[in-house]
C-alpha cells in the first residue's frame, strides 16, 4: 500500500489522498472514490475511510478519498455553484484525475449520509460509474422531503426502539404493574404498531417517484448498488417508508443488495461496528473484482 497527496481539478484546488495497491492495480479493476460525509473531511467519521481505503488497496484497488470544495484542505469555490451541482462536477474531476494518473476507466463511489446523494446523482449522469456503496443513504435533498414523512419516520424509529428494547423486559412490566410506567408512551407505541400498515400505504405518496425509476435504470445499466443501513435510525425508517417495497420488487438481482446492521448508530461509532462494516464492504468489493 502506497499513499500520496494529490491536488487536482480545473484549478487544482481539490485535495485528496491516493492509495495505491502494493504491486499496482490490475487494469480491469474499477477504482474507488470515497466522498465526504457531510462536513467531515476525507478521513471520514472516526477515520473509517482511512481504514477502508487501505483495505481496498490491499485487495488490488486504486482508491482516492478527497475533500469537496470548502471542506478539509480543499479551497472554497469562487464561482458560487450550488453544492448539489459542484459535488457532482468535483466527483467527475476526481474520476478524470484517476483516469489520467492510473488509467482507470470504471469507478465505484462510496458515500455516507450526504455522500450517498452525491454518489447517486453522479452515477445517474456518468456511465463510468459501475458501482456504489451507499451507507445510511438519503437519495434526495433534505429540503425536498415531505414533512409528514419525516414525522412518520421519526415516530417509527421511536416506536421500534421502544418495542425491541423495553416492551419485553421484565423491569418494564414491573413498572406497568406498579404504576410507574409512562402509559402515554406505551399506548403511543401500540397505536403506531397497529396503524403501521396504513402508514405504509400512505407512504406511497412520500418521496419522488423518479428515485425508484432511476434505481431501476442504474440496475438495467449494470451498476451494482450496495446499501448499508443502521438499525434504529430515522434514515432507515424513511428508507422503509419510501423505497424498501420498490427495491424488493427489483430483486432478485445480483446488482442490488441491502444490509441492515443491528445495534449501531448513524456513523458506526463503535470499533466493532466499524470492523463489521469494513468486512461487509470488502466482501462486496470482491464481487466487483470478479466482474
Length of the chain: 291
Give the span between the Cα atoms of 56 and 17, in whole angstroms: 14
Beta bridge partners of 129: 107
Chain Cα centroid distance, residue 59: 21
Considering just the CA atoms, what is the radius of gyration of the chain in Å? 21
What's residue 244's pLDDT? 85
| pLDDT exceeds 60 at position 196 | no
- Mean pLDDT to the nearest integer, 149-165: 57
What's residue 3's pLDDT? 96
What's residue 210's pLDDT? 85
Q: In this predicted structure, which of 10-24, 30-44, 129-143, 162-176 has the lowest mean pLDDT?
A: 162-176
Which residue is listed with cell 455516507?
A: 112
Say if pTM beats, i.e. exceeds, 0.75: yes
Evaluate the CA torsion angle 50, 80, 119, 236 in order and state its sign: positive
Domains of the chain: 2-144+209-290 (3.40.50.1820), 147-204 (no CATH)
**CB within 8 Å of 100: residues ≥ 6 apart:** none
**CB within 8 Å of 72: residues ≥ 6 apart:** 15, 36, 41, 42
Q: Write the DSSP string, the chain.
A: -EEEEEEESTTS-EEEEEEE-TT---TTSPEEEEPPBTTB-TT-GGGHHHHHHHHHHHTT--EEEEPPTTSTTSPPPSS---HHHHHHHHHHHHHHHHHHHH----EEEEEETHHHHHHHHHHHH-TTEEEEEEET---S-GGGS-HHHHHHHHHHHHHHHHHHHTTT-HHHHHHHHTT-S-HHHHHHHHHHHHHHHHHHHHGGGSS-HHHHHHHHHHHHHT-EEEEEEETT-HHHHHHHHHTHHHHHHH-S-TTEEEEEETT--TT--SHHHHHHHHHHHHHHHHHHHH-
How open is the CA angle 75-140-254, to the nearest 5 degrees?
105
Greater confidence (122 vs 173) lies with 122
| pLDDT exceeds 50 at position 169 | no
**pLDDT band for position 110 (50/70/90)?**
very high
pLDDT in tens, 203-226: 444 456 789 899 999 999 999 999
**pLDDT band for position 202 (50/70/90)?**
very low
Give the span between the Cα atoms of 202 and 200, in whole angstroms: 5
Beta bridge partners of 141: none
Amino acid at each position: 500500500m502506497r499513499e500520496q497527496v494529490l491536488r487536482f481539478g480545473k484549478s487544482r484546488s481539490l485535495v485528496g489522498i491516493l492509495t495505491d495497491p502494493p504491486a499496482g492495480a490490475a487494469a480491469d479493476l474499477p477504482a474507488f472514490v470515497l466522498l465526504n460525509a457531510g462536513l467531515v473531511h476525507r478521513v471520514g467519521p472516526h477515520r473509517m475511510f482511512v481504514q477502508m481505503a487501505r483495505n481496498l488497496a490491499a485487495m488490488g484497488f486504486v482508491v482516492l478519498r478527497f475533500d469537496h470544495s470548502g471542506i478539509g484542505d480543499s479551497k472554497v469555490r469562487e464561482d458560487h455553484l450550488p453544492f448539489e451541482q459542484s459535488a457532482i462536477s468535483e466527483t467527475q474531476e476526481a474520476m478524470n484525475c484517476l483516469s489520467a494518473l492510473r488509467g482507470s476507466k470504471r469507478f465505484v463511489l462510496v458515500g455516507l449520509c450526504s455522500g450517498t446523494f452525491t454518489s447517486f446523482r453522479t452515477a445517474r449522469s456518468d456511465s463510468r460509474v459501475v458501482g456504489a456503496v451507499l451507507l445510511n443513504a438519503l437519495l434526495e435533498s433534505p429540503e425536498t422531503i415531505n414533512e409528514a414523512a419525516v414525522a412518520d419516520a421519526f415516530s417509527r424509529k421511536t416506536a421500534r426502539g421502544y418495542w425491541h428494547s423495553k416492551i419485553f423486559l421484565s423491569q418494564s412490566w414491573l413498572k406497568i404493574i406498579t404504576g410507574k410506567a409512562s402509559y402515554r408512551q406505551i399506548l403511543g407505541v401500540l397505536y403506531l404498531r397497529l396503524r403501521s400498515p396504513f402508514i405504509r400505504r400512505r407512504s406511497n405518496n412520500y418521496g419522488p417517484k423518479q428515485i425508484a425509476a432511476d434505481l431501476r435504470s442504474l440496475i438495467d445499466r449494470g451498476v451494482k448498488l450496495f446499501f448499508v443501513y443502521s438499525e434504529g435510525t430515522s434514515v432507515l425508517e424513511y428508507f422503509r417508508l419510501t423505497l424498501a417495497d420498490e427495491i424488493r420488487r427489483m430483486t432478485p438481482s445480483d446488482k442490488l443488495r441491502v444490509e441492515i446492521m443491528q445495534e449501531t448508530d448513524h456513523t458506526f461509532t463503535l470499533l466493532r461496528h466499524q470492523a463489521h462494516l469494513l468486512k461487509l464492504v470488502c466482501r462486496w468489493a470482491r464481487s466487483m473484482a470478479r466482474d
